[in-house]
Amino acid sequence: MPHVKPIPREDLPQYEPFFSVAEQMMGGFVPNSLFTLAHRPEILEAFMRLAGTVNGPGTVDRGLKQLVAYVASNAAGCRYCQAHTSTHASHAGVEAEKIEHAFEYETHPVFSDAERATLRLARDSALQPNLVEPGHFEDLRQHFDEAQIVELVSVCALFGFLNRWNDTMSTELESVPRAFAEQHLGDSGWKVGKHR
């Protein structure tokens, strides 16, 4: 059960344009975290701008950005964000095999060297303490330019916020990502945990 009761969507008509975009991007649902953030409208508005920019169009493939978010969320232990990002990765065209083997990225043949460097950054940036070192950036520079590296690190940082927000608030997991995670992530040990 959430620690702070979300504001019902129907009580937030001024944000319906944002919610509609989120619903489309997320594959048919609006994250409950937005309804909790709405208790402080200025935080919700700033967050939606940042999340839309980081997750939106850029020079890095949207699917890869969601794999980054998924691996970072796993390293941070956030079950809510793991369900969201795996679902979002699927909607962005990432094949099920990559999602199901995301934590075997170092050895599984479905991953490229560029993906390995990126997912290594995601994992190590989300751990406590942060394990990112200069070698991570040397590996990234073999595949990405500076602007793309900034875009990738932005994804890691955004999900650092989301992982802590949703675990701390015990945000209730919506039915769409829950069903996806139960179907595709069960073999990796995923459980809904506190996000009931």
The pLDDT of 192-196, averaged and rounded, is: 76
User: Which domains does the chain possess?
Assistant: 9-188 (1.20.1290.10)
Q: What is the pLDDT of residue 193?
A: 76
Alpha-carbon span 49 to 128, nearest angstrom: 27
What would the pLDDT profile of 10-25 be if each residue is shown by its tens digit? 999 999 999 998 888 8
What would the pLDDT profile of 58-80 be if each residue is shown by its tens digit? 999 999 999 999 999 999 999 99
Alpha-carbon span 2 to 169, nearest angstrom: 6
Q: What is the pLDDT of residue 56?
A: 87
Alpha-carbon span 2 to 194, nearest angstrom: 9
